[in-house]
Structure 1
Amino acid sequence: MFIFRLLLKNAFRHRLRTILTMVGLVVAICAFGLLRTIVDAWYAGVEGTSSVRLVTRNATSLTFPLPLNYAERLKTVEGVTGVSWSNWFGGVYITERNFFPQFAVEAASYLALYPEYVLKDDEKKAFLLDRQGAIVGRKLANQYGWKIGDQIPIRGTIFPGTWNFTLRGIWDGIDAKTDESQLLFHWQYLAETVRKRQASSADYVGVYIVRINEPNNAPLISERIDTLFKNSLAETLTETEKAFQLGFVSMSEAILVAINAVSIVIVVIIMAVMANTMMMTARERIAEYATLKALGFSPEFVIKLLFGESLVIALLGGGLGMLATIPIANAFAKSVGTLFPVFRVSDTTMLYQFLASVIVGVVAATWPAWKMSRIDIVNGLRHVA
């Protein structure tokens, strides 16, 4: 306790300099945590995937559809226990700023494949019975203030016209990784409307979602599916849901690398600032350290004093930065809307922030501690004059 009080008193001996250094630490650690959270949010779709779901799409490109009659053939593949399908809708709610994911799905089979969408039984029944009904995630409903029974007009971009949906249910994610920023409606409603305009384009789907009996059999079952449709007019590419999501993440790989690099640079900069603070502190106390050595204290004691003081400043500043990260991240999540479906500061990010604070404190004190431990007593005492 005495040592801690001594370190705390030493740390705030030059109060203004210490406070300014701590402010820099707060900003740096908070920025580091926020950037790490942005990277985590980019991978949130990957983390929320299931190991028993595969995605089958057109081998040429995701923009090319697949025939509806593939569904029955997929059900015959050994190891497949469930099949559903979806279409990306890509509409706009009121203005272009209100963009969020919308999917036309085969409702009954789709919800069976996504147990992480927790929907009340009465709301699920109402959705299944209403061809123009829709369900949304809790986050999306809260963002726009939607309630059960509300009319939601979506202006189509891929499918022209204004599409009116009645909100029949709001699902909650089974955990924090579940996406709650989507709108789902009936694929049959989309197909019926498209058939009236262009019959030849109605019986096609964007992707098939396939449930398998054993995650370890994913490569084998994927191969069986792609072999089944080989040399057809629409060959398929089947991959795990995780691999499918990673394909989207890889499109932004350069951005993610840049964000990671910036987060590291921030820590390095504050490390340099902290090292400068500790070097100035050491120079001011040369006579004190020489006196301690003259009184019989070992060089190791001087090293402990400097490392201890540096760690006290780093951990206090880093701790405040960690505390500030959560409210700032929440405010950031609200400002970007549905850009990041899942945006939360993870335990891993908090651990990285703590480790970054410790590393800054240790590295910043290394050179001053080594210099002061080797100081000559006579020269150090002369420094008083």
Structure 2
Amino acid sequence: MFLTRLLLRNAFRHRLRTALTIVGLVVAIGAFGLLRTLVDAWYAGVEASSSTRLVTRHAVSLTFALPLSYAQRMKAVPGVTAVSWANWFGGIYIDERNFFPQFAVEPDTYLRLYPEYLLSDEERLAFLKDRQGAVVGRKLAQKYGWKLGDTVPIKGTIYPGTWSFTIRGIYDGAQTRTDENQMLFHYALINESIKKRFPGRGDNTGAFIVGIDQPANAAVVSQAIDAEFRNSLAETLTETEAAFQLSFVSMSDALLAAIEAVSLIVVVIIMVVMANTMAMTARERLSEYATLKALGFGPGFVARLLLGESLLIAALGGGLAIALTFPMVAGIGQGLSSFLPVFEVSGTTVALQALAALVVGLVAAAWPTWRMARIDIVDGLRHVA
């Protein structure tokens, strides 16, 4: 208790210096947490992927379509339990800035393959019965103020025309990382219109979603599916859902590496600033530490004083930074919800922030602590602060 009171008195002896150091720690550790959260958000789709779902697309590129007739042949592959499909729609709601994912899907099989989209039985049935019906995520509905029964006009870009959809269901995510910013509607409605206007583009889809019986069979089933369509006019590439999501993330590898590097540089900078603060503190109290040693206090006690003060300041700054990270992430996440649907502080990020604050406190005080523990009593008493 005595040591704690002494540490508090020492830490706030120069209140302005300590306050500025804490502010610097809050900014640095807070920025570190924000940048780590941004990286986590980029990988959220990968982490939320199911190990029992595969994605089959055209072997050349996702921009090339696959015939719907492939679905029946995929179902016959051993290990496959279900097959559905989804087509990227890419429409505009009122303004181009209102971006959110829109998929034309085969509703029954698609919802069965995505049990993490939680819908009531009534909403599910209403969606299945209404060919102009749509299902949207909870966050998307809240963002635009949509409710059940609302009509949402979407201007097509890939599929020309203005399409009107009626909200028949609003799904919640089974987990915090489940994307609640999507809009799903009937592929059949889009397909029928396309076949009338552009016959050659009908009965095609951008990707198939394949359910498998065991995650361990993913590689075998993927190879079997691709072998089924080898040497055809539209060869396939089948991979796990996580690998499919990762292919998009990998396009930004350089950017993510730069963000991670910046997050570490920020911590190193505040570590240098903190080390300078502790060095100044040690020089100013040189005679005090020498007096303590002359009174019989050992080098260990002197070391604990300086190291404890550094850790106390780091703990205060780190704690405030962690506490402020949550509201900052929540505020920023509202603006980025269309692009990063899952933007939240993870337990790992909080742990890394706490670890960063601890490392800053330890490293900043390492050299001054070692020096003060070895100070000569006579030389220390001659020093005038």
Tell me the TM-score normalized by structure 1: 0.99
Letter in 2 for 1:323: A
1:336 Cα shift? Answer: 1.9
Q: Is the 8 A contact 2:337 2:343 kept in 1?
A: no
1:379 Cα shift? Answer: 1.2
Partner of 1:223: 223
Q: Distance in 1 between matches of 2:8 and 2:311?
A: 10
Counterpart check, 1:127 vs 2:127: yes
Matches within 5 A, 1:1-385: 1-384=1-384
Q: Distance in 2 between matches of 1:126 and 1:17?
A: 64
Q: Distance in 2 between matches of 1:384 and 1:21?
A: 25
Q: Deviations over 1:178-218 (max 9, x none)?
A: 01000000000110110111111111011000000010010
Show structure 1 runs of 4+ deviating over 2 A. Answer: none
1:376 Cα shift? Answer: 1.4
Q: What is the alpha-carbon root mean square deviation over aligned residues?
A: 0.8
1:160 Cα shift? Answer: 1.3
Letter in 1 for 2:45: G
1:312 Cα shift? Answer: 0.1
Letter in 2 for 1:268: V
Gaps of 5+ in 2: none
1:337 Cα shift? Answer: 2.9
Q: Is the 8 A contact 1:143 1:337 kept in 2?
A: no
Greater Cα shift, 293-302 or 237-246: 293-302
Q: Distance in 2 between matches of 1:128 and 1:335?
A: 32
Q: Deviations over 1:126-157 (max 9, x none)?
A: 11011011000001001111011111111111
Q: Deviations over 1:247-273 (max 9, x none)?
A: 000001111001100100010011011
1:338 Cα shift? Answer: 1.3
Q: Deviations over 1:156-175 (max 9, x none)?
A: 11111111111110000001
Q: Distance in 1 between matches of 2:73 and 2:337?
A: 40
1:280 Cα shift? Answer: 0.6
Identity of aligned residues (%): 66
Gaps of 5+ in 1: none
Tell me the TM-score normalized by structure 2: 0.99
Greater Cα shift, 298-307 or 56-65: 298-307
Q: Distance in 2 between matches of 1:155 and 1:114?
A: 27
1:384 Cα shift? Answer: 2.9
Q: Distance in 2 between matches of 1:258 and 1:96?
A: 29
The size of the alignment, in residue pairs, is 385
Q: Distance in 1 between matches of 2:184 and 2:335?
A: 24
Q: Distance in 2 between matches of 1:178 and 1:383?
A: 63
Q: Distance in 1 between matches of 2:47 and 2:335?
A: 23
Task: Give secondary structure in 1 for the equivalent of 2:341.
Answer: coil
Task: Give secondary structure in 2 for the equivalent of 1:136.
Answer: strand
Q: Is the 8 A contact 1:173 1:179 kept in 2?
A: yes
1:373 Cα shift? Answer: 1.3
Q: Deviations over 1:268-320 (max 9, x none)?
A: 01101111110110011000000011111111111111110000000001000
